[in-house]
């Protein structure tokens, strides 16, 4: 459900076919991954999952991509998505932990060399790595524009309040692409889940809410994320429950 799938979705809107090559398998677990994969195939998208690109060549007709498994795919144009690297070089002289971004504390204040929050310096956006108390104490970066906007607002308030008075930043990360007429919404961090649970609807009907849980205290499943297909209202009832135990868990599937 990343940028490669969104790019592959675009040509279908003009009556053309697209293709997607991904070194990873279809995300979302076996049940949801299969449904989203079929959604793309039903709209003429060629999926090459679990393979890499060995090379490519260009001519007047477009681009021919050679895959690791020996197959070739031809396209009029190709979009390469290789991820991002945080620009922290201007911060190297400070002694701040710059491992995969700028390390900061719960309030968005940058963590100093001793690990304590530094008054007067905050970090926000894709570059910021912090422990979201909604999940655990592991610092992570979240690369979504909604998160960057909300974090920027919180950082501005925290800058004025100071690290002692500022509140922790504990958002529910979320995003939503539209692919082939289906609205796909994600809340929380589904990748942290160890179990997949059908919370509402039926995946094969492409109208469902799928929850991702992991064991919490005393083994009670804790909801860490959810993905919905054309089910915005049903998803709302679970968004604010991310990070909290589920009172009851329907039949579950192992998350891939």
* Per-residue pLDDT of the chain in tens (256 residues, 90 and over written 9): 455 455 555 555 544 556 787 766 656 666 677 888 888 888 888 888 888 888 989 998 899 999 988 888 888 888 887 778 899 998 888 899 999 999 999 999 999 999 999 999 999 999 999 999 999 999 999 998 999 999 999 999 999 999 999 999 999 999 988 888 899 999 999 999 999 989 999 888 899 999 999 999 888 899 999 999 999 999 998 999 999 998 765 555 544 4
- In sequence order, what are the residues at sequence separation of 6 or more whose Cβ sits closer than 8 angstroms to the Cβ of residue 81? 2, 3, 4, 7
Query: Which one-letter DSSP state was computed for residue 152?
Result: H
Q: Which helix (H) or strand (E) holds 39?
A: helix 29-42
**What is the structure's pLDDT at 207?**
92
Q: What is the pTM of this model?
A: 0.81
**What is the structure's pLDDT at 14?**
46
Return the half-sphere exposure (C-beta side, CA atoms, 13 A cut-off) of residue 181.
Answer: 6
**What is the structure's pLDDT at 26?**
57
Alpha-carbon distances, residue 116 vs 107, 163, 165, 171, 248 (angstroms): 11, 9, 14, 22, 39
Residue found under tokens 């004025």: 160
**What is the structure's pLDDT at 38?**
84
Exposure string for 127-142, b = 16+ CB within 10 A, e = fewer: bbbbbbebbeeebbbb
**What is the structure's pLDDT at 24?**
63
**What is the structure's pLDDT at 256?**
45
**What is the structure's pLDDT at 146?**
94
């Amino acid at each position: 459900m990343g940028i490669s799938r969104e790019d592959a979705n675009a040509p279908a809107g003009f009556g053309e076919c697209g293709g997607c090559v991904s070194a990873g398998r279809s995300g979302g677990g076996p049940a949801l991954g299969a449904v989203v994969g079929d959604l793309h195939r039903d709209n003429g998208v060629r999926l090459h999952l679990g393979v890499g690109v060995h090379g490519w060549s260009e001519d007047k007709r477009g681009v021919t991509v050679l895959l690791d498994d020996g197959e070739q795919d031809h396209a009029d144009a190709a979009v390469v998505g290789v991820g991002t690297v945080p620009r922290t070089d201007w911060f190297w002289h400070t002694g701040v932990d710059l491992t995969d971004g700028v390390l900061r504390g719960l309030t968005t204040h940058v963590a100093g060399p001793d690990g304590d929050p530094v008054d007067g310096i905050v970090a926000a956006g894709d570059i910021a790595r912090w422990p979201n108390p909604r999940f655990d104490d592991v610092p992570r970066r979240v690369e979504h524009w909604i998160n960057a906007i909300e974090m920027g607002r919180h950082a501005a308030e925290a800058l004025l309040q100071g690290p002692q008075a500022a509140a922790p930043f504990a958002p529910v990360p979320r995003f939503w692409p539209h692919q082939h007429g289906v609205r796909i919404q994600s809340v929380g961090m589904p990748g942290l889940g160890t179990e997949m649970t059908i919370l509402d609807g039926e995946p094969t009907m492409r109208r469902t809410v799928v929850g991702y849980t992991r064991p919490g205290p005393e083994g009670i499943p804790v909801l860490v994320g959810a993905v919905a297909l054309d089910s915005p209202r049903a998803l709302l009832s679970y968004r604010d429950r991310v990070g909290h135990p589920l009172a009851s868990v329907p039949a579950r599937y192992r998350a891939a």
